Amino acid sequence: MINFIKRKIAKYKLMTTKQEFGYKLKSFQLEGYGKIDYAHWLNPFSYSMIVSSSQLNFFKKFINNGDFVIDIGANIGDTGLPMGLAAGAGGTVLALEPNPHLYKILKVNSTLNKDKLNLIPLPYAATKEDGEFYYNSSEATFNNGGISKLKSKFHGKYELEEKINGVNLDRLLRSEYSSLLSSLTCIKVDTEGYDKDILLSLRSIIDEFKPSIMFEVFKKLNKEDRFELYDLFKNSGYDLFKFDDFDLNASTKQIEREEMNNWRHFEVYATYEKTSTV
């Protein structure tokens, strides 16, 4: 019991103490790819960068070699890495991460494994309009968090000292990456409750290019927001699936509109073909 209490106190101290964390270069072996290098963020709450074959094969259901994919809320690159490996060196991962603590690690990871993937990091949040936004986190380590136009503690009491930049991604894609849009096959969004607004802002991109979409149903979303998310895709010819992890062996279930309120917080992928069996 004493050791348990000590661990709880140590964890609380870490979560409530602002500090900078560096990184350490590490590597792992991946079947068919050999040695994969990555920058391990020394924040104790950071996500793992090690990719298994089963995790990679999950992304290969949606991404082919040479594809253009987008990772919105890229963190340090923990999903951008397997997405990039699936797309290969001839493909492109556009990875958006506005949190400067996370972005500095994402940027390092974008310089690694250049013979196996092409990851382009951007220090932006995807927003309805270009502008500056507040960024808050539930942890002083800023391992995660979300944005707001006005001061808000919706995502936690810890606020970045400087505002972050938001960009209208539709305009950015059409102006800077128009040559890649014809090969757009997958968009992943994980932005702590802002997913719906981002996906609505990308409605014309989604309708035109029909990429597979992975997004989060945030625990604080109300019933109307959940139904709006479902309708956004179902009305455009998509099927929606709840999945438990970015892993080929994880549990997957096709869901109907009324089931959007069955779980407090969960992940969804949406695929365009109604006959899809992924």
Q: pLDDT tens, 13-33?
A: 566 777 889 999 999 999 999
In a domain, 4, yes or no: no
In a domain, 75, yes or no: yes
Predicted confidence at residue 134, as pLDDT, reads 93
The domain spanning residue 85 has which CATH number? Answer: 3.40.50.150
Which residue segment(s) compose the domain that 199 sits in?
Answer: 21-126+180-271
In a domain, 173, yes or no: no
Predicted confidence at residue 102, as pLDDT, reads 96
In a domain, 175, yes or no: no
Count of C-beta atoms within a 10 Å radius of residue 231: 12
pLDDT digits (tens, 9 = 90+) for 124-168: 999 999 999 999 998 888 888 888 888 888 888 889 999 999 999
Predicted confidence at residue 4, as pLDDT, reads 46
Q: How far is CA 272 from CA 169, 206, 268, in A?
A: 21, 10, 13
- Reported confidence tier of residue 234, pLDDT bands at 50, 70, 90: very high
In a domain, 44, yes or no: yes
pLDDT digits (tens, 9 = 90+) for 196-232: 999 999 999 999 999 999 999 999 899 999 999 999 9
In a domain, 152, yes or no: no
In a domain, 195, yes or no: yes
**142: CB partners within 8 A, 6+ apart:** 99, 101, 102, 158, 160
pLDDT digits (tens, 9 = 90+) for 257-270: 999 999 999 999 99
Domains identified in the chain, total number? 1
Flag the least confident range among 7-21, 97-111, 190-204, 229-243.
7-21
pTM as predicted:
0.92
Given a cut of 90, is residue 110 above it in pLDDT? yes
In a domain, 165, yes or no: no
